[in-house]
Amino acid sequence: MADNIFAKIITKEIPAKIVYEDERVLAFRDIGPKAPVHVLIVPKKEIARVSEATAADEALLGHLLTVAAEVARREGVDDTGYRLVINKGPHAGESVPHLHMHLLGGRPMAWPPG
Ligand code: AMP
């Protein structure tokens, strides 16, 4: 496993507030929440960023979305709505080199994003 914070959360070397886990995916609360609900959905497989996923990862990428929708239901934001975000590269503000999807909800959000 790579030596980054999410790899260590996946192996449970570092604690996190886990809200969902299965054999392929872990979801935990963001340590610096930008909305009342801010959960990160992370594949356990080591994929640094979306541009490094391959055709072999398509089912896993789809699973991230269905897990995000399930977590949103559990967090009570399905009716009010939510945003799913993947940051890739410096212009988007990617800061951890392990693929992760942000689930943000619990307040209205502006569009376009800043
Ligand atoms: P990004 O900027 O898209 O790479 O998102 C990285 C996210 O990881 C940020 O929203 C951070 O607040 C969050 N983060 C960093 N370290 C931790 C941690 N130990 N536990 C939970 N979330 C974290």
Residue 101: pLDDT band with limits 50, 70, 90: very high
38 classed as catalytic: no
Catalytic residue chosen out of the listed positions 38, 98, 100, 102:
100
Residue 2: pLDDT band with limits 50, 70, 90: confident
Task: Report the chain's mean pLDDT, rounded to a whole number.
Answer: 97
Reading the block at residue 92, the tokens are: 């988007």
Which of 28, 30, 34, 103 gets mutated to test ligand 1 (max ligand atoms within 8 A of its CB)? 30
pLDDT one-digit tens code per residue, 62-87: 999 999 999 999 999 999 999 999 99
Reading the block at residue 77, the tokens are: 């934001």
Pocket of ligand 1 (CB under 6 A): 5, 16, 28, 30-32, 40, 87, 93-96
Domains annotated for the chain, with CATH where assigned, are 5-105 (3.30.428.10)
Reading the block at residue 76, the tokens are: 């009570």
Please, which residues have CB within 8 angstroms of residue 97's CB and are 6 or more apart in sequence?
A: 2, 4, 48, 49
Q: So what's the pLDDT on residue 62? A: 98
**SS3 label, residue 35:** coil
- In ligand 1, the atom with minimum distance to the C-alpha of 14 is 19
